[in-house]
A and B are shown apart, each in its own frame.
Chain A
Amino acid sequence: MSNPLSDMEKPDVIFCIGTNMTEAHPVAATRLKKAIARGAKLIVADPRRIRLAEMADIYLPIRVGSDVALLLGMAHVIARDGLYDLDFMSARTEGFEEFLDHVGQFTPTWAAGITGVPAADIERAAILYGSAKPGAIFYTLGITEHICGVENVQSLCNLALMTGNLGKVGGGINPMRGQNNIQGAGDSGAIPNNYVGFQPVTNPAIQAKFEKAYGRPLDAEKGITKVTALDRCGESIFAMLIDGENTVVSDPDQQHCVHALKSLEHLVVIDIFLTETGELADVVLPAAAWAEVDGHFTNTERRIQRVRKAVEPPGEAQPDWWIISEIAKRMGMKGFDYSSAVPVFNELCELSPIYAGIDWELAESGQYQWPIPYKGHPGTPRLHETEFTNGRGKFSFTHYRDPAEVIDDAYPVWLTTGRRLESYHTRTQTGRSQGIDYLLAEETLEVHPEDVHAWGLVDGGWAEMSSRRGTVKIRVEATRRSPRGTVFASFAFPEVPINQLTGSGYDPITETAELKVCPVRVVAV
């Protein structure tokens, strides 16, 4: 998030797109509700009539995968009506004249043709956001889990740049991070393109710094993403160490994933339960869980917070840091003689410019949001207040493109996937919590009541849903949350492996899977 969570109560206009915030981030949604109670206006763009849509002043029920068209149409109106912030654009951005020209072609009528949303509503939304002082944008995986995920985000940045809604209290572009420490995983360098603190592996000075710190030569080229690595299992990838991720259930195209992991010569899995992924491993190592280890999580507003051990792990389970270090030491690696998580964190801070101002002791208070470039720096609740990291803000000349697969006679229905409030990812954790089973006992396929009727289904009965990759059996739930022609399911339940169907394509830059769009056929059984 560019802005702190506390800013969520401060915008005049809130634009939520591709985020089911009341279900995925309920406590954050509470803050938005406060803003609305204070008089803020809410725009919601989502294919499904989610709870947030019910609260909206303007609801834009866009066709799945048509976000870029909507955002270009809105930019067109803001440009046409002169709702942009000329002072901000002149002082902080470059190329804005060309951008205003670029969006001239994308009329609301054009956008309406692609999104299925009336042109008049696109105009109203653009005028409302364009006139806001300040206006804030919130999004989640509904924006990124597309083949055009990068263009989606760029299109949102364009809107914020042209209206000057960056670096301001109550403004910003705010992706809500899903998993509790997905931010920390990126921060710590567990990505193929950056070392800790987002230092590019391709920069020679940084390469030299880490060759010294880690005491060995390091590749000057980026690594490969997990998606690519799975594709190459058995061809050029022959061993994997997987920490705490149920890859088999959470990844798109499950058959492919199981096959990939089976073709490895060596698979080691660290986890707290014997997951579907662990079942395929050569070695499974029992980890201490949340509440059993000390360390840090970094939340969606870049706040570094201490997690503390409250109970002993069961049996012989050990903290991840100990397990990984032990494997490393047995392979003869240097630099893994840690006595606890404390020196691990301090080493990370020393090597990371964005954590340079803290250490284990200082992080204790939970008051720091990165970047914290030096000791004594107060941290950075709000990004881009005076300047952008790379100088001037750049507009992106985005274009709309179709999803990787579109509906046709064989697969005439759009399937979109997401999360549910009561479950978490693949339910390795919540599936073993008693109260949660009671609240949400099984997965259902959400179908518009008229489609239930038209397709010969029965509310509460069973359907078979197929894509080009597989078939699952699932119970039908008639609900007007789904628009006609689009159905919804989550991938929370291993018994209903929705990810056997998805995986039609990937964003070419981030290699994020297009989980949000998948043409399917639904028949009664």
Chain B
Amino acid sequence: MNPNFSHPPITKTRTICGYCGVGCSLDLLVRDNRIIGVQPAMDGPANEGALCVKGQFAYDYVHHPERLTHPLVRGADGQLHQATWDEALDRAAAGFTQVAAKHGRHAVYGVASGRTPTEADYLMQKFIRVGFGSHYIDNCSRA
């Protein structure tokens, strides 16, 4: 029996590596809301227990101090300033509405990501199609 109760328990979450298209399965080891390690999944259909150096070690960016933690909005001084979600979202929305009103609905363009989950990509294209009736949407596969 471990008498040391000061350590919170380690939880294990099955997910997919976020680095390349092989899509290796892995388990994230988490304690205190921090990833402390990665275990390859032996039953991962793409990797069967293998992981490369990126999948195995390159996860600490998630907890990097430079992560964006609040919205930023460009002020009259030309600098980006911290803003509330309400301010930032209203500003984002108003900008698209204004540009479409001034230059037409084909003046707005969307660029989705090849790294975010499919749900994010789906909503990016839906945003453009529902918002502007155009197909002015692409992702980064061309670069």
Contacts and interface: CB of A to CB of B under 8 A. Distances in A.
Interface stretch (A150-158, A162-170, A245-253): A245-253
Interface string B65-85: 011111111100000100001
A324 B66 contact: no
Contacts of B11: 310
Contacts of B143: 226, 247, 250-252, 513, 515
A318 B71 CA distance: 10
Given A178-B20, A179-B20, A424-B19, A5 B130 contact: no
Interface string A397-416: 00000000000000000000
Nearest to B29: A310
Interface in B112-143: 112-131, 133-143
Interface string A290-311: 1111111111110111111111
Contacts of A299: 16, 21-23, 46
Contacts of B34: 311
Nearest to B122: A188
Contacts of B19: 180, 424, 429
Chain B interface main SS type: mixed
Contacts of A177: 20-21
B47 to A, nearest CB: 5
A464 to B, nearest CB: 25
Contacts of B16: 180, 297, 299, 305-307
A435 B88 CA distance: 35
A13 interface: no
A126 B80 CA distance: 58
A217 B119 CA distance: 23
B119 A210 contact: no
A228 to B, nearest CB: 9
Given A236-B106, A273-B68, A290-B18, A282 B126 contact: no
Contacts of A226: 109, 111, 138-140, 142-143
B67 to A, nearest CB: 5
A379 to B, nearest CB: 11
A317 B66 CA distance: 13
A183 interface: yes
B119 A241 contact: no
Contacts of B111: 226, 240-243, 245, 247
Contacts of B55: 27
When A and B form their complex, which 7 residue pairs have the shortest distance between CB atoms, in order from nearest? A315-B69, A295-B117, A299-B23, A223-B135, A177-B21, A266-B95, A320-B120
10 contacts: A27-B50, A217-B133, A226-B111, A239-B109, A283-B73, A290-B18, A366-B25, A367-B45, A424-B20, A430-B58
Given A5-B45, A238-B108, A304-B118, 13 more contacts: A26-B53, A27-B50, A184-B121, A185-B118, A188-B122, A189-B122, A242-B111, A244-B113, A272-B68, A295-B118, A320-B119, A321-B117, A424-B19
